[in-house]
Chains A and B, each alone.
Chain A
Amino acid sequence: MPRARKTPVLIRADTGTPAAVRAREGAAHPQHALALDAPLAKPQASTATLARRLWFCVYLPDLPLEAGGPLEQASVVVEEQQGMHRVLLACPRAAAAGIMPGQTANAALALLPTVRIEERSTLREQQTLEALATWLEQFSSVVCIASADVLLLEIAGSLRLYGGLLNLRRQIAAGLQQQGFGASLAIAPTPLASTWLARAGQRACIRDTANIASALRSLPLACLDWPAAICDAIEGMGVTSVGDCLRLPREGFARRVGAQRLIELDRALGRLPDPRRAWRAPERFCADHEMTEEQGDREVLLAICHELLLSLERFLLTRQLGAQRLLFSFFHLRGPATQLSVGCVGPERLAGHWFALLKLRFERMTLPEPVIAVRLYGGRNQVLHTESGRLAFHGKAGGQRLGYSMSQLAERLAARIGKQSVHGVTTVAEHRPQRAWCLQSVLGDKARTTLAVLRHSLKRPLWMLPEPTPLPAEHGLPLHQGRLTLLEGPERLETGWWDEDGIARDYYTAVNPHGMRLWVYQNRNRTANWYLHGFFG
Chain B
Amino acid sequence: MMSSLSATGRRVRYAELHALSNFTFLRGASHPEELVETAVRLGYEALAITDECTMSGIVRAHTAAKQYGLKKLIIGSELHLQSGRKLVVLAQNRDGYAALCELITAARRAAEKGHYELTRLAFESGLPGCLVLWVPDKRYELDVEDHWLRETFRDRLWIAVELLADGLQRKQLAALYEIGRRLKLPLVACGDVHMHRRSRRILQDTLAAIREGITVDKAGFVLHPNGERHLRSLEVLQHVYPAELLAETVRIAETIDFSLDELRYEYPDEIVPAGETPASYLRHLVAHGMQRRWPDDVPARVVQLVEHELRLIADLGYEPYFLTVYDIVAFARSQHILCQGRGSAANSAVCYCLGITEVDPGRMAMLVERFISKERNEPPDIDVDFEHERREEVIQYIYEKYGRNRAALAATIITYRPRSALRDVGKVLGLSELQVGRLARSMQWWDGQRVDDSRVLEAGLDPESPVIKRLLYLVRELLGFPRHLSQHVGGFVISNAPLAELVPVENAAMPDRTVIQWEKTDLEDLGLLKVDVLGLGMLTAIRRSFELLRDFDGRDLTLANVPAEDPRVYDMICKGDTMGVFQIESRAQMAMLPRLKPRCYYDLVIEVAIIRPGPIQGDMVHPYLRRRNGEEAVDYPSDDVKGVLQRTLGVPIFQEQVMQLAVVAAGFTPGEADRLRRAMAAWKRRGGLGPFEEKLIQGMRERGYEEEFARQIFRQIEGFGEYGFPESHSASFALLVYVSSWLKCHEPAAFTAALLNSQPMGFYSASQLIQDVRRHGVEVRPVDVNQSDWDSTLEAREDGAAALRLGLRQVKGLSEEAGRRVVEQRGNSAYRSIQQLLERAGLDRRGLGVLASAGALKPLEGHRHRARWAVAGVEKPTPLFVSMDRYEAAPLLRKPTEGQDIVADYQSLGLTLERHPLHLLRHRLDRYRYLQAERLPDLVHGSKVCVAGLVITKQRPGTASGVTFVTLEDETGHVNLIVWKRLAEQFRAALLNSRLMGVHGELQIEGEVVHVIARQLIDHTEMLGNLVVTSRDFR
A488 touches B988 (CB 8 A): no
CB-CB under 8 A from B992, the residues of chain A are: 98, 103, 107, 110-111
CB-CB under 8 A from A99, the residues of chain B are: 989
CB-CB under 8 A from B220, the residues of chain A are: 428-431, 452
The CB with the most chain B CB atoms within 10 A, among A119, A256, A499, A500, is that of A256
CB under 8 Å from chain A, chain B span 648-695: none
Partner of B865, one of A113, A237, A494: A237
Bound complex: CA A113 to CA B895 (Å):
47
CB-CB under 8 A from A492, the residues of chain B are: 165-167, 225-226, 228
A106 touches B437 (CB 8 A): yes
Bound complex: CA A245 to CA B990 (Å):
37
Whether B466 sits at the interface, judged by CB under 8 Å, is: yes
B429 touches A498 (CB 8 A): yes
A497 touches B205 (CB 8 A): yes
Partner of A233, one of B205, B868, B893: B868
A495 touches B873 (CB 8 A): no
Bound complex: CA A489 to CA B869 (Å):
85
CB-CB under 8 A from B832, the residues of chain A are: none
Q: List 10 A-B contacts (CB under 8 A).
A: A107-B992, A117-B434, A236-B853, A252-B888, A429-B220, A431-B223, A458-B166, A492-B167, A492-B225, A499-B217
Q: Which residue of A lies closest to B863 (CB)?
A: A238
Q: Which residue of B lies closest to A456 (CB)?
A: B138
A236 touches B165 (CB 8 A): no
Whether B295 sits at the interface, judged by CB under 8 Å, is: no
A249-B889, A251-B888 known; A497 and B853 CB under 8 Å? no
A97-B989, A237-B868 known; A113 and B217 CB under 8 Å? no
Whether A262 sits at the interface, judged by CB under 8 Å, is: no
CB-CB under 8 A from A105, the residues of chain B are: 434, 437
A233-B872, A429-B220, A452-B220 known; A252 and B167 CB under 8 Å? no
Q: Chain A nearest CB: distance from B854 CB in Å?
A: 11
A459 touches B167 (CB 8 A): yes
CB-CB under 8 A from B865, the residues of chain A are: 236-238
Q: Please name 14 further chain A to chain B contacts, defined as beta carbons within 8 Å, in addition to the given A238-B896, A491-B166, A491-B168, sorted by A numbering.
A: A85-B434, A98-B1019, A105-B437, A111-B989, A111-B992, A236-B868, A238-B864, A238-B900, A252-B869, A252-B889, A256-B872, A490-B167, A491-B167, A492-B225
CB-CB under 8 A from B558, the residues of chain A are: none
Whether B894 sits at the interface, judged by CB under 8 Å, is: yes
A100-B993, A237-B868, A252-B873 known; A431 and B896 CB under 8 Å? no
Q: Which residue of B lies closest to A248 (CB)?
A: B891
Bound complex: CA A388 to CA B11 (Å):
70
Whether A493 sits at the interface, judged by CB under 8 Å, is: yes
Whether B1030 sits at the interface, judged by CB under 8 Å, is: no
A493 touches B888 (CB 8 A): no
Whether B470 sits at the interface, judged by CB under 8 Å, is: yes
B441 touches A110 (CB 8 A): yes
CB under 8 Å from chain A, chain B span 385-415: none
Whether B881 sits at the interface, judged by CB under 8 Å, is: no
Whether B859 sits at the interface, judged by CB under 8 Å, is: no
Bound complex: CA A106 to CA B438 (Å):
7
CB under 8 Å from chain A, chain B span 852-894: 852-853, 864-866, 868-869, 872-873, 888-894
CB-CB under 8 A from B904, the residues of chain A are: 236
Bound complex: CA A506 to CA B166 (Å):
9
Partner of B872, one of A110, A237, A455, A459: A237
Q: Chain B nearest CB: distance from A253 CB in Å?
A: 8
**A→B interface (CB under 8 Å):** 85, 97-100, 103, 105-107, 109-111, 113-114, 117, 119, 233, 236-239, 247-249, 251-252, 255-257, 428-431, 452, 455-459, 488-495, 497-500, 506-507
CB under 8 Å from chain A, chain B span 432-447: 433-434, 437-438, 441-442
Whether B849 sits at the interface, judged by CB under 8 Å, is: yes
Whether B201 sits at the interface, judged by CB under 8 Å, is: yes
Q: Chain B nearest CB: distance from A74 CB in Å?
A: 12
The CB with the most chain A CB atoms within 10 A, among B138, B167, B434, B889, is that of B167
CB-CB under 8 A from A452, the residues of chain B are: 220-221
Whether B938 sits at the interface, judged by CB under 8 Å, is: no
Q: Chain B nearest CB: distance from A488 CB in Å?
A: 6
A251 touches B227 (CB 8 A): no
Encode B418-462 as 1/0 by CB contact (under 8 A) with A.
Answer: 000000000001000110011001100000000000000011100
How many A-B contacts if CB must be within 8 Å? Answer: 140
Partner of A106, one of B198, B217, B441, B458: B441
Q: Chain B nearest CB: distance from A427 CB in Å?
A: 10
Bound complex: CA A97 to CA B459 (Å):
17
Whether B286 sits at the interface, judged by CB under 8 Å, is: no
CB-CB under 8 A from B890, the residues of chain A are: 249
Whether B216 sits at the interface, judged by CB under 8 Å, is: yes
Bound complex: CA A495 to CA B459 (Å):
30
CB-CB under 8 A from B459, the residues of chain A are: 109, 113
A489 touches B167 (CB 8 A): yes
Bound complex: CA A107 to CA B991 (Å):
11
Q: Which residue of B lies closest to A104 (CB)?
A: B437
CB-CB under 8 A from B945, the residues of chain A are: none
A494 touches B201 (CB 8 A): yes
A236-B853, A238-B893 known; A113 and B989 CB under 8 Å? no
Bound complex: CA A10 to CA B83 (Å):
57
Partner of B225, one of A98, A117, A238, A494: A494
Whether B170 sits at the interface, judged by CB under 8 Å, is: yes
Q: Which residue of B lies closest to A430 (CB)?
A: B220
Bound complex: CA A489 to CA B172 (Å):
12
Bound complex: CA A210 to CA B225 (Å):
80
Q: Which residue of B lies closest to A233 (CB)?
A: B872
B849 touches A498 (CB 8 A): no
CB-CB under 8 A from A495, the residues of chain B are: 205, 223, 225-226
Bound complex: CA A204 to CA B853 (Å):
35
Whether B310 sits at the interface, judged by CB under 8 Å, is: no
Bound complex: CA A105 to CA B202 (Å):
31
Partner of A111, one of B216, B226, B442, B988: B988
CB-CB under 8 A from A431, the residues of chain B are: 220-221, 223, 225
CB-CB under 8 A from B198, the residues of chain A are: 494
Bound complex: CA A237 to CA B862 (Å):
12
Q: Which residue of A lies closest to B1019 (CB)?
A: A98
Bound complex: CA A490 to CA B138 (Å):
17
CB-CB under 8 A from B442, the residues of chain A are: 110
A113 touches B460 (CB 8 A): yes
CB-CB under 8 A from A107, the residues of chain B are: 992
CB-CB under 8 A from B900, the residues of chain A are: 238
CB-CB under 8 A from A239, the residues of chain B are: 893
A495-B205, A498-B470, A500-B466 known; A488 and B170 CB under 8 Å? yes
Q: Which 3 A-B pairs have the closest CB atoms?
A: A98-B989, A491-B167, A429-B220
CB-CB under 8 A from A488, the residues of chain B are: 167-168, 170
The CB with the most chain B CB atoms within 10 A, among A109, A488, A490, is that of A109
CB-CB under 8 A from B202, the residues of chain A are: 497
B205 touches A429 (CB 8 A): no
The CB with the most chain A CB atoms within 10 A, among B434, B458, B866, B904, is that of B434
Q: Which residue of B lies closest to A238 (CB)?
A: B865
Q: Chain A nearest CB: distance from B419 CB in Å?
A: 11
Q: Which residue of B lies closest to A487 (CB)?
A: B170
Encode B197-235 as 1/0 by CB contact (under 8 A) with A.
Answer: 010011001000000000011001101011110000000
Q: Which residue of A lies closest to B215 (CB)?
A: A498
Bound complex: CA A379 to CA B892 (Å):
61
Q: Which residue of A lies closest to B900 (CB)?
A: A238
Bound complex: CA A455 to CA B849 (Å):
65
Q: Chain A nearest CB: distance from B228 CB in Å?
A: 6
Q: Chain A nearest CB: distance from B214 CB in Å?
A: 10
A493 touches B226 (CB 8 A): yes
CB-CB under 8 A from B894, the residues of chain A are: 238
Bound complex: CA A119 to CA B989 (Å):
22
CB-CB under 8 A from B868, the residues of chain A are: 233, 236-237
A249-B889, A251-B888, A431-B221 known; A236 and B167 CB under 8 Å? no
CB-CB under 8 A from A457, the residues of chain B are: 138, 168
